[in-house]
């Protein structure tokens, strides 16, 4: 059973054995809106179920040796790894979950053909069907990829519209800049495709007008071959200039580049800073005077590295008073009981070598039904699958882990997150 909002529904949990039938069933449930969280995408359906996957650049596609899928019945968390591709040479590529929720089923055909996740990400390459548990809260962290096509002959550019829609874009037909300049004032992360052929001699003036009202817009010009104005178009510093007809692979690389998120380099540790100090406890008091405590065993959290640093910075950014304790420790159940009696919420963070994808977490209650914990605050264990060999998490995964730990400290763990 999976709880959603104020009601409970029965959710079947099973592996997909017939990918074509599963895709047909899922497509009937899905709406047309595709939401993106980084490279990951989700399509919500009328019954709240999301079809999920990832849009990965096809250029330079690596040789894939294996894929690790989520397990049916487990929880995945927005921003944390949902699947992992094992690349030739021992490298790996992790795909984050676009939403938090329970995995209902997985696309097991990827085990035999993992390249489908690159070749057909919105069709045969989907990864999992997920029942979201925090969709309303997390919707703001996702974005629709908008594509405006400026044309006078919609029929002549319909193949471009179909290609963009097949790549997860929401396509709007516009015949003049005013059709979307209001949108441009309040939104970022969209592209404008100018069908230069349809405007003939006025096309260059239209491109100049578009650049003047939206100088930072990702403007793509699609034009006829050997057009005499090609050099003048290119001089406008366009995002891309393409010759019609542009095939699906060309559009795919345009979209992958247009919506690529630039990642900042991790900040270096200040010179002379110890940095390696291990955090074993964090106490924080929220604005309702509620105390939350996080206890970390081993060396999971470091003061100035990875998850520990991101968590402390998040708390400081919210101007919350915190107290920290340092030094590697392995906390005992007696320690849990002592701290649980002193706070409203307790999180005990431990490493769990369960064969899951590194960075994945699961939550389990502490002291449920135990008379020793009667009268104590809410207490949970958060079990994290570490990286192999004790390597630090990738920056994106570390930031997402910190965000989820912060949320659990502030709000507690809902019953839908218990696996």
pLDDT in tens for each of the 419 residues of the chain? 333 332 222 333 334 444 444 444 434 433 458 999 989 999 998 788 999 999 986 655 667 778 899 999 999 999 999 999 887 777 788 899 999 999 999 999 999 888 888 888 899 999 999 999 999 889 999 999 989 898 888 777 788 889 999 899 999 887 766 666 677 666 667 899 999 998 888 999 989 988 887 777 789 999 999 999 999 999 998 999 999 888 888 898 899 888 877 554 444 444 444 446 899 999 999 888 889 999 999 888 998 889 999 999 999 998 889 999 999 989 998 998 889 888 889 999 999 998 889 999 999 888 776 676 766 778 889 999 998 877 888 888 899 999 999 999 998 776 665 55
Structure token digits, residue 50: 């999301």
User: Tokens 């006078």 — which residue?
Assistant: 152
CA distance 414 to 122: 31
For position 286, what pLDDT does the model report?
Answer: 86
CA distance 209 to 29: 41
For position 262, what pLDDT does the model report?
Answer: 59
CA distance 128 to 133: 15
CATH of domain 278-417: 3.40.50
Give the class (CATH, top level) of 2-140: mainly beta
For position 273, what pLDDT does the model report?
Answer: 44
Of the candidates 280, 410, 419, 288, the one whose C-alpha atom is nearest the C-alpha of residue 339 is 280
CA distance 142 to 178: 26
User: Tokens 């998850």 — which residue?
Assistant: 307
For position 394, what pLDDT does the model report?
Answer: 85
- Among left, alpha and beta (phi > 0; psi -120 to 50; other), residue 141 is alpha
For position 265, what pLDDT does the model report?
Answer: 43
Judge contact between 303 and 309, C-beta under 8 A: yes
Of the candidates 101, 135, 80, 48, the one whose C-alpha atom is nearest the C-alpha of residue 416 is 101
Give Cβ neighbours of residue 20 (< 8 Å, ≥ 6 apart). none
CA angle 383, 390, 279 (to 5 degrees): 65
CA angle 369, 371, 372 (to 5 degrees): 120
Give me the residue spans of the domains in the chain.
2-140, 143-258, 278-417
Angle between helices 306-317 and 395-411 (to 10 degrees): 50
Domains 143-258 and 278-417 share a fold: yes
The helix or strand, by DSSP H or E, that contains position 256, with its residue range, turns out to be helix 248-258
Give Cβ neighbours of residue 162 (< 8 Å, ≥ 6 apart). none
User: Tokens 């040796």 — which residue?
Assistant: 65
DSSP code per residue over 287-324: TTS-EEEEEE-BTSEETTBHHHHHHHHHHHHTT--EEE
Positive or negative, the CA dihedral 153, 156, 160, 161 is positive
For position 25, what pLDDT does the model report?
Answer: 43
CATH of domain 143-258: 3.40.50.2300
């Amino acid at each position: 059973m999976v709880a959603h909002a104020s009601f409970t529904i029965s959710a079947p949990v099973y592996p997909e054995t017939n990918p074509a039938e599963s895709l047909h069933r899922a497509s009937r449930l899905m709406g047309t809106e595709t939401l993106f969280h980084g490279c990951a995408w989700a399509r919500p359906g009328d019954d709240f179920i999301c079809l999920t996957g990832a849009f990965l650049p096809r250029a330079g596609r690596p040789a894939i040796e294996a894929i690790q899928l989520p397990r049916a019945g487990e929880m995945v968390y927005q921003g944390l790894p949902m699947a992992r591709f094992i690349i030739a040479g021992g490298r790996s590529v992790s795909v984050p979950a676009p939403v938090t929720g329970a995995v209902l089923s997985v696309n097991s055909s990827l085990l035999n053909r993992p390249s489908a996740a690159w070749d057909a990400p919105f069709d045969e390459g989907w990864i999992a069907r997920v029942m979201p548990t925090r969709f309303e809260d997390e919707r703001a962290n996702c974005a629709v990829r908008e594509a405006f096509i400026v044309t006078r002959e919609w029929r002549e550019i319909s193949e471009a519209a179909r290609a963009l829609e097949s790549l997860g874009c929401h396509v709007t037909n516009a015949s003049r800049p005013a059709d979307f300049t209001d949108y441009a004032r309040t939104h970022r992360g969209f592209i404008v495709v100018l069908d230069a052929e349809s405007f003939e001699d006025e096309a260059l003036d239209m491109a100049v007008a578009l650049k003047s009202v939206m100088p930072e817009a990702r403007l793509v010009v699609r034009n006829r071959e050997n057009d005499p104005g090609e050099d003048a178009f290119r001089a406008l510093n366009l995002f891309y200039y393409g010759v019609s007809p542009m095939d699906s692979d060309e559009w795919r690389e345009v979209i992958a580049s247009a919506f690529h998120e630039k990642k900042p380099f991790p900040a270096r540790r200040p010179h002379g800073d110890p940095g390696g100090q291990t955090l074993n406890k964090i106490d924080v008091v929220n604005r309702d005077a509620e105390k939350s405590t996080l206890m970390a065993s081993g060396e999971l959290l470091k003061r100035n590295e990875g998850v520990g640093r991101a968590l402390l910075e998040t708390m400081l950014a919210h101007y919350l008073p915190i107290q920290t304790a340092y030094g590697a420790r392995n906390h005992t159940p007696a320690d849990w009981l002592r701290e649980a009696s002193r706070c409203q919420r307790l999180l005990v963070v431990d490493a769990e070598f369960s064969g899951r994808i590194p960075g994945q977490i699961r939550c389990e209650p502490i002291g449920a039904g135990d008379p020793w914990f009667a009268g104590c605050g809410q207490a949970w264990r958060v079990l994290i699958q570490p990286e192999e060999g004790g390597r630090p998490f990738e920056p994106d995964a570390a930031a997402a882990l910190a965000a989820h730990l912060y949320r659990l400290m502030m709000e507690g763990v809902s019953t839908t997150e218990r696996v």
